Amino acid sequence: MPVELAEGQCLGRLTCLHEGVSMSTTMTDIIWKPTGQYLKCRAADFITQHGLKDWRHLIKRSTEDTNWFWKEAIDFMGFKWSTPYSQLMDDSKGFEWTKWFVGGELNIVDNVLDWHQTKGQMLGSRTSVGSAHPALIWEGEEGGLRKFNYGELNEMVSKIAGLMLELDVKPGDAVGMYMPMIPETVATLLACFKIGAVAVPVFSGFGSQALVTRLSDAEAKVLFTADGGKRRGKLIEIKNDADEAAKDLPNLKKIVVVKHTQNQISWNKERDVWLHEALENVKPAETKVDLDAEHPSMYLYTSGTTGKPKGTVHTHAGAMAQIVKELGFTFDVRPDDVFFWVSDIGWMMGPWEIIGVYFWGGTIVIFEGAPNHPTPDRVWQIVDRHKVNTLGISPTLIRALRSSGDGWVQTHDLSSLRLLGSTGEPWDEDSYMWYFKNVGKSNCPIMNISGGTELVGGLLTPLPLMPLKPCSLGGPGLGMDIDVFDENGQSVSNSIGHLVCKKPGPSMTKGFLKDPDRYIETYFSKFPGVWYHGDWAKCDEDESWFLFGRSDDTIKVAGKRVGPGEVESVLVEHKDVAEAAVIGVPDDVKGEALVCFVVLMPGKSASTELTKELRDLVAHKLGPVMRPEVIHTVGALPKTRSGKIVRRTIRAMYLGEPTGDLSSVENPDALGPIGKLPGAKG
C-alpha cells in the first residue's frame, strides 16, 4: 500500500492512498498508556478468568470465535433469565435474519431495575445495589434539580407501567415518547420494557410531521408527552405539536401528558390524560419476565435527512447484550460511578446509557435544555457539581465549547473524571487533544466509540487497558468480527477501505420496520453476506483503528477522492476557525470542486487574508489539487440533535436542490443563509 507525503506536507500527518481515496491519518506517538486502576478493569477480569494473554488476545479470540465470546460474556456479566436459552443463535435464514438466544426468556427491566431492589445479590460479575442507591439526577435549564434512588425510580416505573395496562397497552404494542429529557422520560422508557410494550422515542424538538412519520410507521397506540419543554430559555410547546400530529394518527387512542412547564395547552377530555392525576390511584404493574429473547423493546428511527426515516427494530436480549457489554467492558461502569452522556432520549445514546448504566448499578445524570446555555460552561458545571466519573460528548459539541475559550473549563474542578467518552463522527486531532488535555487533564482515556442506531451499539470500541493514539477508536468491539474491505470485497491491512462486519451481532436491527427490502439494500447489497456500514476505516500497523467519515460523502476532485472530514480537520487547525463543513459541487474542469463553510472563533471576522490562509493551509496539508474553490463564513452549521453536521442537506440547499426531510435538523434556520451565499443556487 503506497504511503506518500502530499506536496509541502509537514511530518506527523501522512496521506494514505488506496483505491484513489486520499485521507490523512495521525501517526503520532501513543498519548494514553494505562496504569493503576485502568489495569484492574472488568475487561482485565475477563482476560484473567479465561486465561488470555492480554487485550490483543481478547479481541482476537472474541472476534474469531464470536459464539464463544457471547456465551461466556453473557454468563460473566450476569444476565437474569426466566428461561435460559437453548441455542445461542440461529442463522439458518442467513446473516441478515439471524435470531439470538433461541428459546430464552427475560426482560430488560428485570435485569436493570428489579434486580437492584435487594442489596447484595450476586450474579455473574455484578452485585445489586439496593433500593436506596442513587439512580438518577436531573437538572433543568433554569436551575431545577430532582434526584431519585433505585427504589423511587422503580415505584414511578411500576405505576406508569400500570397506567399503560389500564390504557389497554399489550405486549408488542408501540408506545410513542415525545418528551423532554426529564425523569418521567426515563421512567416511561423502562415502563414500556416492563410490560413488553415497544418504546418509540422521538426527539421533542421535532415538529409534528416528523412525529407523524414515526408514530404512523410504528402504529403507536399511546403517546407520552409533556405540556412543554425549555431550550435556550425558550418555551417549546410540545403538546401543541402532539395535538397536530394526532390528527393524522388514527391508531393513536390516548395522549398522556406530564405537567412540566405549566403552560396553557389545548385539551381533549376524551383522549388526553394528565400523568400526575392518573398515577394517584393506579395499580403498579408487575414485570412481565417471560418475554421471548427476540421480543422487540424499541423502534429507534435514524436521522433520515434524505428520504423516509428508517425504523430499526431492537430486542430485549440482543439490545441488552450489546449495550451492557459496552458499558461494562468499554466504560467499566461501577455502582459508585456517576455517568453523564450529553444526549437526548431521541438519540440511541439515551436508551443506551439508561439500560447499560442501570444494569451495572450506576447513577445517571440527565439535563434539559442546551449544553452551552445559559453559559458556555454548563457541561463543566454539571461535572463539577455532581462529581461525574464518566463524561460522554460529541466531537461537534467539543468544537463548539472550545470556541468559547479555555477559561470556561479551567475554572471548574473536573478531577472526579475517570473516563471520557465520545461518538457521533470522526475527530480532528486538535479538538481531540483539547478534550484530552483541558477536560481530562491528560489523565483520562477517551473511549471513542462508533456504531449506529441500527446496532444500538458500536462496531469499534476501545478498552480502558489499551494504549491509545489521538483520534483512535481502539479496536473491534468485543464479539464483533470487524474488517476493512477494498472495492472488490478483499480484506486490506494498514490501508483505508470500507468498514464491514463479517458475522452477525446480537443487537443488529431485525430489518427495518415494514421495509425489509430497504434493509437488505442498505447493509448487504454491496458485499453480499457481509454487513456494510458505510464508513471509511483503517487499522494501522499498531492495531489502532481510525475512521474517516461516511464513504457515501466522498468527494472526487480531479480524479482524487477525499473525505469531507479530512478537509474539515485541516480547516479547524487554524486558530480562527471553530467549526467547518465541506461539500463537493459540480465543476467542468475537476469534476467536483471543494466548497467550504466555516464558523469562526468569537471576535474573529471574515477577510480576504483569512480566506487565502485557509485555502493555502488545505493545499499545503492535502496537496494543491485539494485547494478549496470557495470558502464561506457562516454563523452556524445545520446539525442533527446528536451533533452531526448534515452535509448532504447543506449541499442540496447550496445547489438549489430539494433538501428532503428536515425533521432531524435541530437548527434548520441555519440552512436559509447558505442558500443565499454568493455562488449558491438556493
**pLDDT tens column, 599-628:** 999 999 999 999 999 999 998 888 788 899
Cell of 488: 472488490
Q: Rounded to whole angstroms, what are the CA distances from 166 to 162, 201, 246, 282?
A: 6, 21, 20, 8
Cβ partners under 8 Å of residue 115, min gap 6: 80, 121, 123, 128
Q: Rounded to whole angstroms, what are the CA distances from 160 to 130, 344, 357, 373, 561?
A: 21, 20, 21, 31, 53
**Residue 67, pLDDT score:** 98
Cell of 486: 477494498
Q: Rounded to whole angstroms, what are the CA distances from 480 to 219, 455, 483, 497?
A: 33, 11, 9, 18
Count helices and strands (H / E) in the chain: 20, 37
**Residue 22, pLDDT score:** 41
Cell of 182: 426529564
Cell of 322: 450489546
The answer to which of 42-51, 226-235, 581-590 has the lowest mean pLDDT is 581-590
Residues 301-314, mean pLDDT to the nearest whole number: 76
Q: Which carries the bigger pLDDT value, residue 232 or residue 134?
A: 134
Cell of 245: 400530529
Cell of 639: 446539525
pLDDT of 2 strictly over 60: no
Q: Which residue has the cell 489539487?
A: 625
Neighbours of 286 (CB within 10 A): 13
CA-based nearest residue to 157, from 186, 116, 125, 127: 186
Model confidence at 303, in pLDDT bands (50, 70, 90)?
low
pLDDT of 1 strictly over 80: no
Model confidence at 643, in pLDDT bands (50, 70, 90)?
confident
The tens digit of pLDDT for each residue in 91-138 reads 999 999 999 999 999 999 999 999 999 999 999 999 999 999 999 999
Q: Which carries the bigger pLDDT value, residue 206 or residue 172?
A: 172
Strands (E), 443-488: 446-448, 450-452, 457-461, 475-476, 482-485
Task: Assess contact for 504 and 530: CB atoms under 8 A.
Answer: no
| Domains parsed from the chain with CATH numbers | 105-370 (3.40.50.12780), 371-448 (3.40.50.980), 567-675 (3.30.300.30)
pLDDT of 304 strictly over 70: no
How far the first Cα of the chain sits from its last, in Å, is 42
Model confidence at 307, in pLDDT bands (50, 70, 90)?
low
Residues 361-376, mean pLDDT to the nearest whole number: 95
pLDDT, the chain, mean: 92
**Residue 659, pLDDT score:** 85
Neighbours of 248 (CB within 10 A): 14
Residues 313-318, mean pLDDT to the nearest whole number: 98
**Residue 9, pLDDT score:** 25
Cell of 303: 436521522
Go through the chain and tell me how many residues it has. 682
**Residue 24, pLDDT score:** 42
Q: Which residue has the cell 462508533?
A: 450
Supply the Cα-derived Rg of the chain in whole angstroms. Answer: 24
Cβ partners under 8 Å of residue 237, min gap 6: 228, 263, 265
CA-based nearest residue to 535, from 554, 522, 549, 523: 549
Neighbours of 512 (CB within 10 A): 25
Q: Distance between CA 225 and CA 200 in Å, rounded?
A: 12
**Three-class SS state of 237:** coil
**Residue 287, pLDDT score:** 98
pLDDT of 554 strictly over 50: yes
Residue percentage of the chain with pLDDT more than 90:
80
Cell of 395: 466531537
**Residue 306, pLDDT score:** 44
Q: Which residue has the cell 427495518?
A: 512
**Ramachandran region, residue 51 (left: φ > 0; alpha: ψ -120 to 50; beta: rest):** left
